[in-house]
Amino acid sequence: MAKLEGVKTLDMVNGEITKVAYGGAAYERVEGGAREGDIVLVKKAWGNQNIGEFFIVTQTISGVDSRRQVVIVDGNVCSASAFREDLEIFRQVNAATNPSVEERVTKAECEIESLKSDVAALKGAAEPKPERLKVGDYTKVVGQAIITEKGDIVKIIQDTGGQVPFMVETMDGKETEWRTEESLVRATDEEVAEAKRAAEFAKFKEGAKVQIVVEDGKTPKYNWGGAKNGDIGIVFRVASDKIVVDTPNHPGWNAMPNELRILSEEEAAKLEREAVERKKWAEIGREVGEYKVGDIVRVINTGSSMFHKGDIGSISEIDGSCAKVAARNLTGPSWLGLSRIELITPVEARFDR
């Protein structure tokens, strides 16, 4: 009797062989009794069989149960047989669903050759040309510094198609320059977003006058504190994530760029005058321009009336946007638009009433 040579292990689980290959066929470990044609692995030596050797089953003799089955190899019942319990049984796998090792190797070699051919074709193919930049694209400067520096994000605003085709604009819109195609690359969405954010913060300078303009119904990012919409303030500091503003009721109020409006000197002066006017009227419990009968007023614009600028008198009647005023230099009261007078003494403060 001779043991099998050339049996190859294909798979193991927890150190135990579960699949082998022999003669171009695959064999998987099975439970139950052995069959003619199975391969057996000796796990308990008996007779001329040694542990770890493989043999082909040529005959079986049933025992009390499958564990006591007599398994015969090489046709020698006496010296080449063992009980089922001393063996591991491996049965040939269906060739249709489990190709032999040789078949799998051949298939793998074909696939490798195919992949090599694909790689060679790809190496020989031309690299895809990137889409040409166009007007409206945001780009990053990679060429020599001119007005803009390397790394700056700029926007293409003109394309002539010439040797230096692109006119670009800085993110703040203050500077433009001409650029070659080679000096620009397309900017990523993240780079554009960061450049836009930085440009918004850069608009604000220390000492600038601003007005709080938070959208109605919205809460500022850093909350209201003592500030309110419409307040006029002065920029104290510009940080990377906030603008610090000194407002009348909240020094050091933190804001985002979209929560503020930069004011010109003229706008700031006008708004400050209006704020003073609102405060003055609020102190007597009225809205701006809210006159009452009995108020003492002064004429600031005569229009086509008989009044003189500076005349002072008492309101005797109000009709919509007009008031009847009795001045000392007139024989009787006369009508004037409310916009042509200013309050001198509210009726509530008159001592003659």
With contact defined as beta carbons under 8 Å apart, do 328 and 306 qualify?
A: no
With contact defined as beta carbons under 8 Å apart, do 72 and 57 qualify?
A: yes
Can you give the CATH number for the domain in which 223 is found? 2.30.30.30
* Residues 15 and 50 grouped into a single domain: yes
Per-residue model confidence as pLDDT tens digits over 46-65: 666 778 888 888 888 876 55
Query: Is residue 321 one of the residues assigned to a domain?
Result: yes
Boundary of a domain, candidates 171, 199, 227: 199
DSSP assignment of 190-248, as one string?
HHHHHHHHHHHHHT--TT-EEEE-PPTT---TT--TT--TT-EEEEEEE-SS-EEEEET
Residue 156 confidence (pLDDT) above 80? yes
Q: Which amino acid is at 19?
A: K
Residue 252 in 3-state DSSP? strand
Per-residue model confidence as pLDDT tens digits over 121-155: 666 655 667 789 999 999 999 988 788 889 999 99
With a pLDDT cut of 90, the percent of the chain lying above it is 48
Q: Which amino acid is at 305?
A: S
Dist CA 296 CA 178 (whole Å): 67
With contact defined as beta carbons under 8 Å apart, do 180 and 165 qualify?
A: yes
Q: How confident is the model at residue 112 (pLDDT cuts 50, 70, 90)?
A: confident
Domain total for the chain?
4
Per-residue model confidence as pLDDT tens digits over 194-209: 999 999 999 999 999 9
User: Which residues does 350 contact at the CB level (< 8 Å), separation at least 6?
Assistant: 294, 296
* Residues 12 and 64 grouped into a single domain: yes
Give 352's DSSP letter: T
* Residues 329 and 342 grouped into a single domain: yes
- Residue 286, number of CB atoms within 10 A of its CB: 16
Q: Which of 77-81, 171-175, 251-255, 348-352 has the lowest mean pLDDT?
A: 77-81
Query: Is residue 42 one of the residues assigned to a domain?
Result: yes
* Residues 195 and 211 grouped into a single domain: no
Question: Which residue in 209, 224, 316 sits closest to 266, CA to CA?
Answer: 209
Query: Is residue 278 one of the residues assigned to a domain?
Result: no
Question: Which residue in 46, 77, 42 sits closest to 59, CA to CA?
Answer: 77
User: Which residues does 136 contact at the CB level (< 8 Å), separation at least 6?
Assistant: 155, 156
Q: How confident is the model at residue 74 (pLDDT cuts 50, 70, 90)?
A: low
Residue 339 confidence (pLDDT) above 70? yes
Dist CA 295 CA 348 (whole Å): 8
* Residues 168 and 208 grouped into a single domain: no
* Residues 158 and 210 grouped into a single domain: no
Q: What angle do CA 235, 238, 241 make, to 5 degrees?
A: 130
* Residues 211 and 235 grouped into a single domain: yes
Boundary of a domain, candidates 146, 171, 199: 199
Query: Is residue 133 one of the residues assigned to a domain?
Result: no
The H or E element containing residue 261 is strand 260-262
- Residue 340, number of CB atoms within 10 A of its CB: 18
Query: Is residue 154 one of the residues assigned to a domain?
Result: yes
Q: How far is CA 138 from the centre of its chain?
A: 18
Question: Which residue in 234, 268, 276 sits closest to 253, CA to CA?
Answer: 234
Residue 75 confidence (pLDDT) above 50? no
Pairing type for strands 153-159 and 166-170 reads antiparallel
* Residues 17 and 88 grouped into a single domain: yes
Boundary of a domain, candidates 92, 123, 151: 92
Per-residue model confidence as pLDDT tens digits over 283-331: 999 999 999 999 999 999 988 888 889 999 999 999 999 999 988 767 6
Strands in 138-141's sheet, in edge-to-edge order, are 176-179, 166-170, 153-159, 138-141, 184-186
* Residues 195 and 215 grouped into a single domain: no
Query: Is residue 331 one of the residues assigned to a domain?
Result: yes
User: Which residues does 84 contact at the CB level (< 8 Å), separation at least 6?
Assistant: 33, 34, 63, 66, 67, 68, 69, 70, 71
Dist CA 109 CA 115 (whole Å): 10
* Residues 187 and 235 grouped into a single domain: no
pLDDT of residue 77: 44
pTM reported for the whole predicted model:
0.47
* Residues 150 and 208 grouped into a single domain: no
Query: Is residue 291 one of the residues assigned to a domain?
Result: no
First to last CA, the chain: 139
Dist CA 157 CA 171 (whole Å): 12
With contact defined as beta carbons under 8 Å apart, do 275 and 315 qualify?
A: no
Q: What is the mean pLDDT of the chain?
A: 85
Domain that holds residue 263: 204-269
pLDDT of residue 45: 73
* Residues 84 and 143 grouped into a single domain: no
Can you give the CATH number for the domain in which 152 is found? 2.30.30
Residue 85 confidence (pLDDT) above 90? no
pLDDT (average), residues 63-89: 63
Query: Is residue 115 one of the residues assigned to a domain?
Result: no
